[in-house]
A and B are shown apart, each in its own frame.
Chain A
């Protein structure tokens, strides 16, 4: 418990630092906020346009597609909010700042991932949550408490996969210096998860569902909500999530060992 409190305190300090850093340029906070809002609203607008002008997309009604879209955004926003730090990892390895971290009594993985939280995302997240809750409330038929709980549970499941993946990226970042490109690739591929996996043709669908498991992250909870997820699928998804998460932690331990035993 004490450790948890301590880490929360540390995280808040990181957040304050980041905020200070962002405040140093007036307009950028506002511009980023506007940009992210525009992006979200534009996608929504297009989906609504599609809703009034087309029938289905890969077997889903457009309303259902919107649910996928919102679920994707939830996972993406939360990941961005808390794990933005991994994007600056190459820089830290090169500058030697990582060595600095290793000498401190704070868990290195925590610092690498969660060290640069972006409060801008928090600003967007709150209205987003309200909107999503409202939309789900009015667009999903046969909504009951069980489904909602399962949905939330599998959102967490999806987040677990996301965390695992960010940890893998961090591992790569420590071993090589190719993080930037790997991250960009990961982000681009995960952007494909905005829409249901079914719109993509095979090999690609397989790639996105299992290799960069954006498919698993997003479509499982969405399908749970829509009542289209058989229990076997749910079981598989949970198993995959836990396995992948444990694997990532092991990889990190290993990568750290490799890093500290190599000379600079």
Chain B
């Protein structure tokens, strides 16, 4: 690339980080916390660690049990694989062992989201509250309430002065050197050390708010559909009434689940979701198998394992049966949610919102 606009951008963006290529100083203390001991630790290791990420993403930010259930639900979309019972065990483990952490509002760096350097600024939420008072009075009019900038002031979430900062060191230096304008006209160099640190905690909190672990982690409004149209789909094109009844198995379902969970559960019955008030709900129904060896009796039960080479099930007495798959071994698989899976190819988004609205009325 020629050293044009882009070249200048490179210079600004990377000068600080690329300058030193000499011997590396000793690394800071390892910040990753191991998973706490407790029932469910092993399955959490296996399921959450098998494909994607490290422990820092889990151990960093404490959450309520309900929030953890939403995280686990989201992980299903990213490829997490486990049985319903295992997902439930993971949620119970995380909710019990990694609850919200007092005084820590989340931040970049290992220990919070997994991204960023180990020595990243960790936000003290109490200090950030104090910093917000300063920010609102002196900075917000130009930089905006979320610190993401306005026509009159830079986006501070994208600012290298903020991203390079640790506990006010860079932000304080900037304010001292720059004679930076403030809302009240207070000289920017006149903030004392404690105020600069509080301001830094607030600005790092705004960065944290922008990350996936921040507060923007819930659907805004799910109930937008037409309940009557949903009822018509339920009894008509959807064919839902062939298996379900609003006065039978679905009586009270709208009171049982929050709308988001309700939407998830009818679309994907096997996805993990808690009931309202973080209540446990009955686990999804298992897949069943009927296996018939050549010239033998059919054995039926709950699927334990089925692949191209082997099959196993547990029958109604709890006895375990296992076979090698051959051309003469007949295997019939029955998924009680097969109709739900077929509907995924048929729903319009309007259908989806209407059904959510309809089911929500069944309280």
A, B from the same assembly: no
